[in-house]
Amino acid sequence: MNRSGLFAQIDLRRVYRRRKIVNTVMLSLTGLATLLAVIPLVWITVYVLIKGGASINLDFFIHLPRPMGTPGGGVLQAIEGSFVMVVLASLFSIPPALLAAFYLAHSPNTPLANALRFSTDLLSGVPSIVIGLFGYAIIVVYQKHYSALAGGVVLAIIMLPVVLRSAEEMLKLVPKELREGALALGSPEWRAAISVLLPAAAEGIVTGIMLAIARATGETAPLLFTALGNDNYEIGNIIRQGIHYHQSLGQIIGNIVSQPTDALPLTLWKYAQQPYPERVQQAWAVALVLMLFVLLLNIVARLWLASAKRHRR
């Protein structure tokens, strides 16, 4: 009796020690995994900084590409193209996204609201390449050529769920009393939404838009067969030509958005696979520009959002 009790005690002590060891080992492993996950981020960032930093200069930002195999030249066409398409995408996506978010804030429990939330979730999960196919089918096929317009539309579809989701979240954080107060003062619903709710949620909505823009700027796949790429895309030239031929402002804008257009990630993709070392170097420089832009937007947006949320409480 006594003996078996003693044995049981020794056994328990051993079990206890084993449990403690397992505990320490497993918890340290989770820390180790976290450490390992940080490595690729640091590795990529440092590598892009070094390689990209070495081949970046002023020419890079203000010149069009030179013929393949000759050094020098820049990626002005890609910078301008990215800018044009992101502006178009913002114009196409932000107003409907905000309106839909207001719909969710206004009537959160209707069947349409549930359907809307579900489709937003699904939309953000659709592979961007499929959205590219869609853009090709609805615009490129009818226009019969690739264009910044088509690129802008597919990027807008990618931005839409991001903006919608964050706007919905931020509108939810606005106290109900604000809206009710505006309504009690006799303002119509739309006035309350635009002059009270929107300013109250503005910080959060703007950060959502910034994140969406960051995503759209880095997106390549849907542009492959909507914008296609164009080494000679230069807005300055298009405008000068337009003035020379006495075109109206509408025609000039039409010319800007209706021709094949380059974008930074498209250029990166093309240059990365070329056998010319100058081009590969420029690809690294493009990667640097893209990464700085995207990461900065992300960092600013998240810091801003955190402070906005803190103020709200």
Partner 1 sequence: MRKASTPPQTDGGWRAALTRRLEHGDLIWRFALSLAAIATVALIIWIAWSIWVDSAPSRQAFGLKFISPWAKQSWNPVLDKFNAWPAIYGSLVTAFLALLIAVPFSLAIAIFLSELAPPRLRGVLNYMVEMLAAVPSVVYGLWGIYVFLPLVVVPLGNLLAATLGKVPALAIFFRGPIPASGLSRLGAALILVIMITPTITAVSRDVLLAIPRSQREASLALGATQWETVWKVLIPYGLSGILGAVILGLGRAIGETMAVTMVIGNTTGGGYSILRPGYTMASIIANEFAEAVSDMHASALIEIGVVLFAITLLLNAFARWLVWRVNRRTVGR
Judged by CB under 8 A, the chain residues 53 through 92 that form the site for partner 1 are none
Interface with partner 1 in residues 243-272 (CB under 8 A):
265, 268-269, 272
Site string for partner 1, 139-178 (x = CB under 8 A): ------------------x--x---x--------------
Please count the other Cβ atoms lying within 10 Å of the Cβ belonging to residue 117.
Answer: 16
Which of the stretches 6-14, 125-133, 234-242, 246-254 binds partner 1 when contact is defined by CB under 8 A?
125-133
Which one of residues 26, 244, 246, 250 is an interface residue with partner 1 (CB under 8 A)?
26
Distance, C-alpha 203 to centroid of its chain: 17
Give min distance, CB of 56 to partner 1, in A.
15
Q: Which is nearer to partner 1, 83 or 269 (CB)?
A: 269
Angle made by CA atoms 146, 148, 149, in degrees to the nearest 5: 95
Site string for partner 1, 100-119 (x = CB under 8 A): x-xxx-x-----xx-xx-xx
Rule CB under 8 A: choose which of 2, 4, 5, 38 binds partner 1: 38
> Are the C-beta atoms of residues 79 and 264 closer than 8 Å to each other?
yes
Q: Which residue has the tokens 């490129």?
A: 140
**Contact between 8 and partner 1 per CB under 8 A:** no
CB–CB of 237/127 below 8 Å? no
CA Rg value for the chain? 27
- The smaller minimum CB distance to partner 1, of residues 119 and 241, is found at 119
> Using CB under 8 A, which of 7, 8, 23, 54 touches partner 1?
23
Token couple for 183:
């309504």
CB atoms within 10 A of CB 311: 8
Work out which of 70, 273, 277, 307 binds partner 1, going by CB under 8 A. 273
Least CB distance to partner 1 at residue 118 (A):
7
Closest CB to partner 1 among 139 and 149? 139
Question: Which CB, 210 or 238, lies closer to partner 1?
Answer: 210
How many residues of this chain interact with partner 1, rule: CB under 8 A? 87
Backbone angles phi, psi at 247, to 5 degrees: -85, 155
Q: How many CA atoms lie within 13 A of 151 on its CB side?
A: 36
Alpha carbons 106 and 189: distance in angstroms, whole number = 9
**Do the Cβ atoms of 235 and 84 come closer than 8 Å?**
yes
